[in-house]
Structures are given as C-alpha cells and as structure tokens.
Amino acid sequence: MTGFHDILIAPFVEFAFMQRALLGALMLSVSAAPVGVFLMLRRMSLTGDAMAHAILPGAAAGFLLYGLEIVPMTLGGLIAGVLVALGAGAVSRLTIQKEDASMAAFYLISLAVGVVMVSLRGSNIDLMHVLFGTVLALDNDALTLIGLVTAITISALLFFRRALIAECLDPLFLRSVSKLGSPVHFIFLGLVVINLVAGFQALGTLLSVGLMILPAAAARFWAQRVETMCLLAIGISALSSIAGLLLSYHAALPSGPAIILSAGFAYATSVIAAPRGVLMTRLPKTAHRTA
C-alpha cells in the first residue's frame, strides 16, 4: 500500500508544481478532447496540426518583445492562428488550390518564421520551451487562461452541439435548412485556435495538438455516438495526462512528450483491442475463411 501511495499519489500531494501541472492538463483534457472529436469527424485532423504550428510566429513575436510572458505570447499566438486560418481559406476560395494544400503551405512557412524569430533573441532552452512547452512550470496566470478557454469551449460546444453534429454528418443539409452553417464553422475554427493557444502554454506549439487528436482518435474505436466519443476522449486524455506526469516524475522524462506518449499508447491499445479495433473486426473474418 505504501508503494502504491509513493508511486501514484505522493508526487501530486507533496509538490505544488505537480498539482498545477495536473490541474492544467486535466482542464486541457476537458476542453481540447471534445474539439478533437469534431475535428476527426470532419476529417480535419491535419488542419488541427497545421493550426498548432501556425500560432508559432505570433507567440515568437510576443517572446521577442516581452520575453516568456504569458499574455503577449498568448495574444500573439491567437492573432497568428486567426490570420493563418483566414489566409488559407482565402487562398482556397480565390485560387484553384484546395484548403488542405494552402493550410500546409501556410503552416510550414509559419513554423520556419517562428523558429527563426525565437532564435534571434533566445537560447536553445527558450526555443525548446516554445516548441515543447513546460507543463511543470505552469503558473497561476497560465492556469487562469486554460480555465477560461475550458469554460468558453464547453459552453460553446453545449450551445451549438446539434449544429456541430449536423455539420459533421451533412454540412450541405445544415446550410440548406439553417443559417447556422457558416457561422458554426467559423465558431468551431475559433475554438480550435483558442484551445491550441491554451495547450501551447503547457505542451508547446509542436505537441499542443496531441491532447486534441490522439484521445479523440482512440475514442473512435470504442464508441459510435458523438456524445459518448467526447466523454471517452476526455477520460482517455485525463488518464494520459496523469500517466504522463507520473512517468515524467519517476523516469525523469520531459513532461509534455511523456503525456503525448501516454496518449499514443492509449491510441495503439485502442487500435488493437477496442470493439472496433483490429482484433475484433479482422480476426473473426480471417478465422471464418480459414475454416
């Protein structure tokens, strides 16, 4: 019993930085995982990844002007994310290029510009902080920001739940029977951006999308209803956060990557063992053909 307490409970009881990291990660799980479900259902998972990279120049601009201050970096990231989303959308509507290609071009340019900007003033440690985050260094300002984003996201998802689900299933039908089609699409993109900005505080620009996509992708193998998928994604994300923080503490691993690796393990397990995974959907057919 003592060993169980020392391994699983003591780190969160004895250290304030672990408590703040856990609180921040759990709030991100509640906020980002359901957004990831809708991204996945819309087949926009790579768009989320592109947007995560797109916020880097804005965050880097805030860093250049004010250093590692949460408000300037957050505002910069938010502005950059919105500009890239609007720019990619404009290119796809005004030219022959599709939105996924224009988004890829914008995010690659953004990533390169952001890295160069951070390198102009900061050290390699600063660059690693911006790219991979420092969940163990979350302060009260960062937790307040994450909490605010969580409240906005959950409120918006509950209020626009039917419209969001309808747009995932048949966006043309939604636009034909309701005026909410286009507004809901832009509201949803706004939720993606603010969750990536919040995740950036803990996991950096390269990993913030991980808690959004991996739990959602894992939940897809366990459930079919959207509401159930959202709840499962939150649970998987929360467990991955706890496991990652404990792994980071006991094995002296970087905390952000440890959380995402834990979520990756949950995804791999779901691919293999879930009711809609490989074992349950493929093996019986193989066995039947062999017989």
pLDDT band at 207 (very low <50, low <70, confident <90, very high): confident
Measured distance CA(166)–CA(170) in Å, rounded: 6
CA 250 to chain centre: 25
Residue 180: pLDDT over 70: no
Output the CA torsion 237→241→242→248 (10° steps).
150
Measured distance CA(168)–CA(124) in Å, rounded: 41
pLDDT band at 176 (very low <50, low <70, confident <90, very high): low
User: Which two structure tokens, joined as six digits, stand for 125?
Assistant: 């440690």
Q: What is the pLDDT of residue 169?
A: 72
Residue 291: pLDDT over 60: no
**Which phi and psi angles does 217 have, rounded to 5°?**
-65, -35
Mean pLDDT value across residues 123-141:
78
Share of the chain above pLDDT 90, in %: 35
Evaluate whether 29 touches 234 at the Cβ level (below 8 Å).
Answer: yes
* Domain topology for 23-210: ABC transporter involved in vitamin B12 uptake, BtuC (1.10.3470)
Evaluate whether 40 touches 217 at the Cβ level (below 8 Å).
Answer: yes
pLDDT band at 174 (very low <50, low <70, confident <90, very high): low
Q: What is the pLDDT of residue 20?
A: 94
pLDDT band at 285 (very low <50, low <70, confident <90, very high): low
Measured distance CA(175)–CA(166) in Å, rounded: 10
* Mean pLDDT over the full length of the chain: 84
13-60 confidence digits (pLDDT tens): 999 999 999 999 999 999 999 999 998 888 777 777 778 878 888 888
35 closest CA partner among 204, 274, 200, 209: 209
CB-count exposure of residue 211 (10 Å: 0-12, 13-18, 19+):
buried
CA 109 to chain centre: 21
Evaluate whether 24 touches 138 at the Cβ level (below 8 Å).
Answer: yes
Measured distance CA(236)–CA(131) in Å, rounded: 24
233-282 confidence digits (pLDDT tens): 999 999 999 999 999 999 988 899 999 999 999 999 999 999 988 888 77
Q: Where are the alpha helices (DSSP H) in the chain?
A: 2-4, 10-14, 16-41, 45-54, 56-66, 70-94, 99-121, 124-132, 140-159, 161-169, 171-177, 181-207, 210-220, 226-251, 255-273, 278-290
First and final C-alpha spacing in the chain = 49
Residue 127: pLDDT over 80: no
Residue 75: pLDDT over 70: yes
pLDDT band at 288 (very low <50, low <70, confident <90, very high): very low
78-122 confidence digits (pLDDT tens): 888 888 878 877 787 778 777 677 777 887 888 888 888 878 776
Evaluate whether 232 touches 223 at the Cβ level (below 8 Å).
Answer: yes
pLDDT band at 230 (very low <50, low <70, confident <90, very high): very high
- Of 79 and 172, more confident: 79
